[in-house]
Amino acid sequence: MSSSQGSGTKDETTRLENSTYNILIALGKEARFLYSAIDTYIDDARKDNNSDLENIWKTIKQERERHLAMLRNALDKQAKEQKLH
């Protein structure tokens, strides 16, 4: 459940603005994929001598790393604007 407090809608449990909470959730999902799954997928493709698939997974990894950096920057901005209480 959410309630309106101040300038943004805040989660009643975390007391974070919903948009800040969403950044944290997305960061967790991106990090989990990058640091637990993607290297296994790359290794499996390499072991199967499937260079096309290996390159696809490497490209996805690079894009996800870029997404993670974007989310970190957004979270830093939220913190600097003191939207993390």
Task: Please determine, for residue 16, whether its predicted confidence score (pLDDT) is greater than 70.
Answer: yes
Q: For the chain, how many structural domains are there in total?
A: 1
Residues whose CB falls within 8 Å of the CB of residue 2, separated by 6 or more in sequence, listed in order: 9, 10, 11, 12, 18
What pLDDT does residue 65 have? 95
What pLDDT does residue 58 have? 97
Domain containing 54 equals 2-80
In one-letter notation, the amino acid at residue 12 is E
| pLDDT per residue as tens digits for the range 30-71 | 999 998 899 999 999 999 999 999 999 999 999 999 999 999
**Cα 39 from Cα 51, distance rounded (Å):** 14
- Burial class (CB within 10 angstroms; exposed 0-12, middle 13-18, buried 19+) of 83: middle
Element (H, E) at 9: strand 8-11
What pLDDT does residue 1 have? 41
Beta pairing partners, 11: 2
Question: Is 34 among the domain residues?
Answer: yes
Question: Is 85 among the domain residues?
Answer: no
Question: Is 22 among the domain residues?
Answer: yes
Task: Please determine, for residue 2, whether its predicted confidence score (pLDDT) is greater than 90.
Answer: no
